[in-house]
């Protein structure tokens, strides 16, 4: 008695030893050479017939090339094949690798819920219709979309378990949706091009590097949720419409924005950076501390762009942090290249934390006037280390004199011209620093 395949809607004859399934739907793990030959013969026969038949509009079946649930033998190859019709690979299984190198998909292709295990390649493949990889699983191995062209790609909820993904120079002409995709294995988007919207909302790159170096985003880009718990690099990547780029609810402490074009106009919402000495610091600075290659200029550029971004968005506290970062990078760069600039920057930091603190100049003012008062008092044979009550009042008198010198007022007679000149100079300097820092604070609030 002839049995039929149990796969829903299949109706082909059961394969001998296929445990209730036809040759297309049965498990291939125990296949002998002969059976693989048989599979190939039958498959390509079916493929040719379907691929070449011109269906009239009315009689056209929904999935013209219907490979739903097919289980392909190891290393099955579609290299250079042109799929002239819409292809349906929904829930298909590719065990031990598959090759779609330079394949052409003339119409829509469905890999919804399909599974790939081992080494899979779509290198140079051309997807002329929508490519549905929603919920597709790539397991243990690698998948390459190197130099592939997508008209529109949907990778929503796709999973890459222990599988590296190579999208080097991949072109996404229409929307590229990686929403809720999970990557676990390094991912390369090196020089990838997103000509339309790129969506990474809820995507996660777990225990792996997300490499967007030199990638180009021509339209909006959305990175929402904790996408990059391990590390990500946007080195030299270009965002042509940065105002449409969002990084939301995200930990950016592992993300490099070195030389990234457009970062000054990104929208950052609910994001976290590294904390270094109590200020927000970018990953590139933290990395610089540990690396031998010290390119402070590039990190300074990241800070400058971020500062501009945050100032524009009225987030002055973080903008101040990034300004400090910017100055720190300048200081470190000057340490190697320009000693005078280095000394000035150090002074600027100590005196007013690069103009970010109006309290520091105040402390300095107090310290300086106090020290000069001590000096004036000692020269008038008052022993500062053996005070009596009367001496305290006398010292307060000198302190008052020191204050008036400091604030450029005429002192009572003092013979020490040099000390007075010096204190006056310091007075002018620190009053200026104080006023500048104060102005900076209020100007920020008023803008
Ligand atoms: Zn079947």
pLDDT tens digits for range 398-432: 888 889 889 988 866 667 778 888 999 999 999 99
Which pLDDT band holds residue 108 (cuts at 50, 70, 90)? very high
- Residue holding tokens 């610089």? 288
Residue 13 CA to ligand 1 centre (angstroms): 7
pLDDT value of residue 446 = 44
pLDDT value of residue 69 = 95
CA distance 60 to 335: 74
Which pLDDT band holds residue 154 (cuts at 50, 70, 90)? very high
Helix (H, G, I), strand (E, B) or coil at 288: helix
First to last CA, the chain: 86
Which residues face 276 on adjacent strands? 279
Residue 90 CA to ligand 1 centre (angstroms): 14
Q: What percent of the chain has pLDDT over 70?
A: 93
Evaluate if residue 151 carries a pLDDT over 60. Answer: yes
Going by their DSSP bridges, the two strands 204-205 and 193-194 should be labelled as: unpaired
Range 74-101 average pLDDT: 94
Residue 21 CA to ligand 1 centre (angstroms): 5
Residue 406 · residue 369 · CB < 8 Å: yes
CA distance 217 to 210: 15
Residue-wise pLDDT for 343-382, tens only, equals: 999 999 999 999 889 999 999 999 999 998 888 877 766 5
Evaluate if residue 393 carries a pLDDT over 90. Answer: no
Nearest-10 Cα torsion for 416, 419, 424, 427:
-140
Which residues face 211 on adjacent strands? 188, 233
Residue 105 CA to ligand 1 centre (angstroms): 24
Q: Count CB atoms within 10 A of the CB of residue 392.
A: 10
CA distance 230 to 227: 9
CA distance 224 to 246: 7
Neighbours of ion ligand 1 (CB under 5 A): 5, 7, 10, 12, 22, 25
Evaluate if residue 434 carries a pLDDT over 80. Answer: yes
Name the CA radius of gyration of the chain, rounded.
35
Residue 12 CA to ligand 1 centre (angstroms): 5
pLDDT value of residue 383 = 60
Residue 35 CA to ligand 1 centre (angstroms): 15
């Amino acid at each position: 008695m002839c049995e039929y395949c149990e796969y829903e809607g299949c109706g082909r004859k059961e394969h001998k030893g296929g445990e209730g399934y036809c040759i297309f739907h049965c498990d291939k793990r125990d296949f002998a050479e002969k059976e693989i030959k048989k599979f190939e013969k039958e498959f390509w026969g079916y493929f040719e017939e379907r691929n070449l038949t011109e269906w009239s509009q009315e009689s056209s079946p929904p999935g013209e090339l219907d490979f739903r649930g097919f289980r392909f033998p190891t290393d099955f190859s579609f290299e250079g094949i042109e799929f002239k019709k819409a292809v349906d690979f929904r829930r298909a299984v590719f065990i031990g690798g598959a090759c779609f190198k330079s394949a052409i998909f003339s119409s829509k292709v469905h890999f919804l819920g399909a599974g790939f295990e081992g080494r899979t390649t779509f290198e140079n493949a051309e997807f002329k219709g929508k490519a549905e990889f929603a919920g597709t699983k790539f397991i243990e191995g690698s998948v390459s979309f190197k130099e592939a062209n997508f008209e529109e790609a949907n990778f929503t909820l796709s999973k890459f378990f222990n599988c590296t993904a190579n999208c080097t120079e991949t072109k996404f002409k229409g929307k590229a949706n990686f929403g809720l995709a999970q990557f676990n294995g390094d991912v390369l988007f090196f020089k990838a091009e997103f000509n339309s919207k790129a969506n990474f909302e809820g995507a996660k790159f777990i225990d792996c590097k997300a490499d967007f170096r030199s990638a180009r985003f021509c339209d909006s880009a959305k990175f929402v949720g904790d996408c990059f718990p391990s590390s990500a690099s946007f080195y030299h990547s270009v965002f042509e419409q940065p105002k449409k780029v969002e990084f939301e609810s995200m930990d950016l402490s592992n993300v490099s924005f070195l030389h990234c074009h457009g970062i000054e106009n990104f929208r950052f919402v609910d994001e976290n950076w590294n904390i270094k000495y109590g200020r927000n610091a970018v990953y590139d600075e933290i990395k610089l501390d540990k690396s031998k290659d010290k390119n402070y200029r590039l990190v300074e550029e990241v800070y400058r762009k971020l500062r501009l971004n945050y100032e524009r968005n009225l987030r002055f506290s973080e903008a101040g942090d990034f300004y400090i970062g910017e100055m720190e990078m300048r200081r470190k760069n000057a340490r190697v290249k320009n000693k005078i600039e280095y000394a000035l920057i150090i002074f600027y930091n100590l005196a007013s934390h690069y103009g970010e603190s109006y309290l520091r100049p105040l402390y300095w003012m107090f310290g300086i006037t106090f020290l000069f008062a001590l000096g004036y008092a000692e020269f008038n044979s008052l022993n500062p280390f053996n005070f009596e009550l009367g001496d305290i009042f006398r010292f307060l008198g000198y302190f008052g004199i020191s204050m008036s010198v400091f604030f450029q007022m005429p002192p009572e007679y003092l013979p020490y011209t040099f000390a007075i000149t010096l204190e006056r100079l310091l007075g002018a300097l620190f009053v200026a620093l104080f006023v500048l820092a104060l102005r900076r604070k209020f100007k920020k609030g008023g803008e």
